[in-house]
């Protein structure tokens, strides 16, 4: 799994951080998403998918990769 965030689309709602805090964070300056781990471990996959689905701006994209 590879995660791509579009910081220009992000509205800073923080749903991603609440759902997958080890993968996402928010900038202290403007609240925009910061990607901490673009290729998280398999254990985080369900949380990352949920975070992407909860994002109101659809700023999180997931690409499935072979491991």
pLDDT at 66: 75
pLDDT at 65: 82
For range 31-60, the mean pLDDT: 97
pLDDT at 61: 97
Per residue, what are the HEC states of the chain?
Answer: CEEEECCCCCCCCCHHHHHCCCCEEECCCCCCEEECCCCCCHHHHHHHHHHHHHCCCCCEEEECCCC
Domains belonging to the chain, first-starting first, are: 2-63 (3.30.70.20)
5-43 pLDDT tens trace: 999 999 999 999 999 999 999 999 999 999 999 999 999
pLDDT at 32: 97
The predicted model scores a pTM of 0.92
């Amino acid at each position: 799994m590879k995660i791509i965030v579009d910081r220009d689309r992000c509205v800073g709602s923080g749903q991603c951080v609440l759902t997958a805090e080890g993968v996402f964070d928010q900038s202290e300056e403007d609240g925009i998403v910061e990607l901490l781990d673009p290729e998280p471990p398999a254990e985080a996959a369900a949380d990352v998918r949920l975070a992407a689905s909860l994002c109101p701006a659809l700023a999180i994209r997931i690409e499935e990769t072979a491991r």
